[in-house]
Amino acid sequence: MTPDYSLLARQLEALLDTRDWLTNSAQTCAFLMQELPDLNWAGFYLQHQPDLLCLGPFQGKPACHPIPFSKGVCGAAARTRETQRVDDVHAVADHIACDADSRAELVVPIVVNERLWGVLDLDSPRQERFSEADQAGIEALVATFIKRSDLACSDIT
Ligand code: SME
């Protein structure tokens, strides 16, 4: 069953009661891990250097770092600035396996002032975990994170 994403968006908006991007990104991935079923990893990668994703706040096993824009599902999201929804990561040739349990993946780009700030990456051990409705709902949650956070200050480039 698809979660009530509009309720989750209201809850996330209430949870993010600071403008601080670090606090808010830590809270957001903890919230997603708690509220969404069948996830084994939820976290942020940030563009702190051009065309390179650095591991940010996350929940789950220690993960791959850094990830160039040229590689993996996260790199594809950063490069194209389009959400990547993967039913079976084993079918993606350049998928980067951080946790062998991961089977499906959803990566949402975070663009602020026309700059790729980073991506939100969700992994699931269940094949075809993310439906189109999940994608739309999670993109709306990312929009809430963007709205509640001062992201322009976080770049180190
Ligand atoms: N699977 C990702 C790498 C990040 S981990 O899943 C946390 C990718 O292919 O980009």
The confidence score (pLDDT) of residue 152 equals: 82
**If we measure between CA atoms, which residue out of 55, 42, 45 comes closest to residue 12?**
42
Average pLDDT over residues 97-110: 96
- Residue 8 predicted with pLDDT over 80: yes
| Structure confidence by residue, pLDDT tens digits, 116-131 | 999 999 999 999 999 9
User: How far apart are the CA of 51 and the centre of ligand 1, in A?
Assistant: 16
Average pLDDT over residues 50-57: 98
User: How far apart are the CA of 18 and the centre of ligand 1, in A?
Assistant: 28
* Reported CATH class of domain 5-148: alpha beta
| Residue 63 banded pLDDT, cuts 50, 70, 90 | very high
From CA 88, how far away is CA 108, in angstroms rounded?
17
Residues 6+ apart with CB under 8 A from 155: 47, 48, 115, 117
- Domain residues of the chain, as ranges? 5-148
- Residue 45 predicted with pLDDT over 80: yes
User: How far apart are the CA of 114 and the centre of ligand 1, in A?
Assistant: 23
The reported pTM is 0.96
Residue 100, classified by CB atoms within 10 Å of its CB into exposed (0-12), middle (13-18) or buried (19+), is: exposed
User: Cβ distance 67 to 53 under 8 Å?
Assistant: yes
Provide residues with CB under 6 Å of ligand 1: 41, 63-64, 67, 72-75, 95-96, 98, 102, 105, 121, 123
- Residue 157 predicted with pLDDT over 50: no
